[in-house]
Amino acid sequence: MNLTMTSDESFPSRFIQTGGASDAAYFIAEQAQKGRRLLQSSYSLGLEAKGVFEDLLKVAEECRFPNWDGYGAAPVMNETFWQAYRFLDALPFGFPAPSVGAEPDGHLTFEWYRSSRRTLSVSVTPEGDLHYAALLGPSKAYGTEPFIGDVPRLILELIHRVIYL
């Protein structure tokens, strides 16, 4: 697995989604993607400047071999990295940055943590499923949402509840 990535690397074109099949639709989507990349590198708005993309790469590299946790963990696969990358890139600008981790089954995790009883963890699978679990004071929420290019509204709401409410 080769996970080289630099901060100014343009987003792989195979991940650009368009609403149409024409060259014009592709061009517009590509330009929009470039705009997002610029905003992500913004100090105040973007996750890139906060080092989250770099952390994601470091965690994926550290966990690319079996048994990276000493208890027989599964390796993080290339597909998992790219799904996680796309998820991060799809977060709205200005949202708080998560910390990056990994689970023994090879899933990458993003965590928004305010306290031990106010926290959200999202696991990204190689298939693009998002398994989430949140402690919200005395209540909790957990489940699975598909990731198909946009961060599910439910997860955005949970981030907001964990960090701001």
Partner 1 sequence: MTGETTLPPITEDEWLARFVLFRRWIRSSDRSVRPDAFIPHPYPNLSVTRHVGLAEVVLWQIGQEIADTRPARLHGRADFQAHTVTKRLLCIAPTPEPKNHANITGWPPDKPSQKIIAQEIAAEAQFMPKPEH
Give contact residues for partner 1 (rule: CB under 8 A): 59, 62, 67-74, 99-105, 107, 109, 111, 113, 116-117, 119, 121, 123, 131-135, 140, 142-144
Q: 100: which 2 tokens? A: 């990056």
Handedness of CA 95, 139, 56, 19 (dihedral sign): negative
- Nearer of residues 60 and 91 to partner 1, judged by Cβ: 60
Nearest distance, CB of residue 134 and partner 1, angstroms: 8
Nearest distance, CB of residue 32 and partner 1, angstroms: 32
Residue pair 28/36 in contact (Cβ under 8 Å)? The answer is no
Q: Tell me which DSSP letter residue 138 carries.
A: T
Nearest distance, CB of residue 99 and partner 1, angstroms: 7
Distance CA 144, CA 71 (A): 26
- Nearer of residues 59 and 91 to partner 1, judged by Cβ: 59
Residue pair 56/40 in contact (Cβ under 8 Å)? The answer is no
- Nearer of residues 84 and 102 to partner 1, judged by Cβ: 102
- Nearer of residues 9 and 157 to partner 1, judged by Cβ: 157
Q: What is the rounded end-to-end Cα distance, in angstroms, of the chain?
A: 40
